[in-house]
Chain A
Amino acid sequence: MSADMTQSGAEILLRALKDQGVEVIFGYPGGAVLPIYDALFQQNAIRHILVRHEQAAVHAAEGYARSTGKVGVVLVTSGPGATNAVTGLLDALMDSVPLVCLTGQVPTHLIGNDAFQEADTTGITRPATKHNYLVKRGEDLARVVHEAFYVARNGRPGPVVIDLPKDIVINKAPYAEPTVQHPSYRPRTEPDMGQIAKAIVLMKQAKRPVIYAGGGVINAGPEAAEALTKLARLTGFPITHTLMGLGAFPASDPQFLGMLGMHGTYEANLAMHGCDMMLAIGARFDDRVTGRLNAFSQGSRKIHIDIDGSSINKNVPVEVPIVADAGKALNALLAAWQASDEPTDKPALAAWWRQIDEWKGKDSLKFTQDIKRGGIIKPQYAIQRLFEITKARGKDTFITTEVGQHQMWAAQHFHFDKPNRWMTSGGLGTMGYGLPAAMGVQIAHPDACVVDIAGEASILMNIQEMGTLAQYRLPVKVFILNNQYMGMVRQWQELLHGSRYSETYSSALPDFVKLADSFHATGMRAQSVDQLDDVINAMLDCPTAVIADIAVDQAENCFPMIPSGAAHNEMLLGPEHESSGVGVTDAGMALV
Chain B
Amino acid sequence: MPSPTDTTQRSATISVLVDNESGVLARVIGLFSGRGYNIDSLTVAPVDAAGLRSRINIVTSGTSMVIEQIKAQLDRLVPVHRVADLTMDGPHVARELALVKVIGFGEQRVEALRIADTFRARVVDTTLGSFVFELTGNTDKIDAFIELMRDLGLAEVSRSGIAALARGSSVI
Contact = CB atoms under 8 A, between A and B. Distances in A.
A310 B3 contact: no
A314 B78 contact: no
Contact of B3 (A132, A184, A187, A317): A317
Interface in B105-135: none
A309 B2 contact: no
Interface in B72-126: 72-73, 75-81
A343 interface: no
Interface stretch (B22-30, B139-147, B155-163, B164-172): B22-30
Contact of B78 (A122, A131, A313, A318): A131
Contacts of B72: 309-310, 312-314
B65 interface: yes
A293 B4 contact: yes
A130 interface: yes
Contacts of B65: 313, 317
A309 B79 contact: no
Contacts of B19: 183-184
Interface in A123-156: 123, 126-127, 130-132, 134, 151, 155-156
A313 B69 contact: yes
Nearest to B82: A184
Nearest to A150: B78
B2 A313 contact: yes
A308 B68 contact: no
Contacts of A318: 1
Interface of B: 1-5, 18-19, 22-23, 26-27, 30, 34, 65, 68-69, 72-73, 75-81
Interface string A312-332: 111111110000000000000
Interface of A: 122-123, 126-127, 130-132, 134, 151, 155-156, 182-185, 187, 293-294, 308-310, 312-319
B12 to A, nearest CB: 16
Contacts of B18: 184
B23 A122 contact: yes
17 contacts: A122-B23, A126-B26, A127-B30, A132-B23, A134-B22, A183-B19, A184-B18, A184-B81, A185-B78, A293-B4, A309-B76, A310-B75, A314-B72, A317-B1, A317-B3, A317-B4, A319-B1
Nearest to A147: B78
A294 B69 CA distance: 18
B78 A126 contact: no
Contact of B76 (A132, A310, A313, A319): A310
A122 B21 CA distance: 13
B26 A123 contact: yes
Nearest to A323: B72
Task: Classify the secondary structure of A's interface with B.
Answer: loop
A159 to B, nearest CB: 12
**Centre residue among A184, A308, A315, A318 by max chain B CB count within 10 A:** A184
Contact of A151 (B2, B4, B30, B78): B78
A184 B30 contact: no
A127 B1 contact: no
A216 to B, nearest CB: 14
List of 10 A-B pairs having minimum Cβ-Cβ separation, nearest first:
A310-B72, A131-B78, A185-B78, A184-B81, A309-B72, A317-B1, A310-B73, A127-B34, A310-B76, A126-B30
A26 B103 CA distance: 65
A338 B138 CA distance: 56
Contacts of A184: 18-19, 78-81
B1 A313 contact: yes
Contacts of A122: 23
A319 B69 CA distance: 16
A294 B77 CA distance: 30
A145 B76 CA distance: 20
A320 B46 CA distance: 38
Nearest to A314: B69
B69 A317 contact: no
Contact of A313 (B26, B68, B75, B81): B68
Contacts of B75: 309-310
A26 to B, nearest CB: 24
A123 B25 CA distance: 12
A189 to B, nearest CB: 14
A74 B69 CA distance: 32
B62 to A, nearest CB: 13
A309 B68 CA distance: 10
Given A122-B23, A310-B75, A313-B1, 15 more contacts: A126-B23, A126-B30, A131-B77, A131-B78, A183-B81, A184-B19, A185-B79, A308-B76, A309-B75, A310-B76, A313-B69, A314-B72, A315-B4, A317-B4, A319-B1
A312 B73 CA distance: 11
A317 B18 CA distance: 29
A314 B75 CA distance: 14
Contacts of A317: 1-4, 65
Nearest to A160: B78
Contacts of A182: 78
A82 B14 CA distance: 34
A329 B73 CA distance: 22
Contacts of B69: 310, 313-314
Contacts of A315: 4
Nearest to A307: B76
Contacts of A123: 26
